[in-house]
Amino acid sequence: MSGVVLSLEGKVALITGGSRGIGAATVRLFRQAGAKVVFSYEKARETAEALAAELGGPEFCQAVQQSLHTPEDGRALVGAAVAAFGKLDCLIVNHGVWPSHDQPITTMPDAQWRSTLGINLDSVFGLVQAGVAQMLSQPGTVKGHIVLIASTAAQRGEAFHADYAASKGALLSLTKSLSSELIGQGIYVNCVAPGWVATEMSAAALSDPGTSNKALSLIPLGRAAHVDEIAGPIVFLCTPLAGFVSGEIFNVNGGAVLVG
């Protein structure tokens, strides 16, 4: 008896923030599942180009340099993905910023608030708007899949990181709104909400004993996630095995959302 196969053969995926961390793991897994992939990066050109080359080069995997701060940025990236491979079946909105320093709300600069929401929310609007338009123009009953990457902080809040928690919390409502609007038209919209994950973005916090001990004490599994443990659910949500799943917040956090 053969094993279960999660195949995305013939599909095209756009993955934002794909040069490192969760994004890079997701790019790799989508390619392993047979999809062609376009992924964005902002600064890490050498790392991004090496990843694209590793996964088959221009015919199968392309890295696009694109800042994501505004709706216009998001729309431009979708355009680049469609130009690369002619269509868009899966949109994975993974990019984001988490200012690592504690910032009380009473002293949070307007510039920090605006920057965090610009990257984590405004650009998502542009990505989704252009992505949906492209998917609806394509043939077939299933037009496409959208997976937004939020955070445990979106549901529990995060003291001294109100900008980040607010931006990610908005993605939960966006997921539910888009699913209600689009599932009848063949577009599935879901959200994956990780907790602490061992990435470059979280490295400074997790290497600090005080912060790390506090964070891990709230995770029943007692550790941070590996990036592959987040990439797996993302891919699953884009396969036929998730064919009756839309509008869901998929918590992938070692049980942390139920604690504290």
User: Catalytic residue positions?
Assistant: 164
C-alpha to C-alpha distance for 53 and 131, rounded to whole angstroms: 25
CB 227 within 8 A of CB 235: no
Q: Which helix (H) or strand (E) holds 116?
A: helix 110-117
CB 196 within 8 A of CB 153: no
Identify the burial level of 101 via C-beta atoms within 10 angstroms of its C-beta, where 0-12 means exposed, 13-18 middle and 19 or more buried: exposed
Distances from the Cα of 117 to the Cα of 120, 130, 137, 243, angstroms: 5, 19, 29, 31
Eight-state DSSP code of residue 121: I
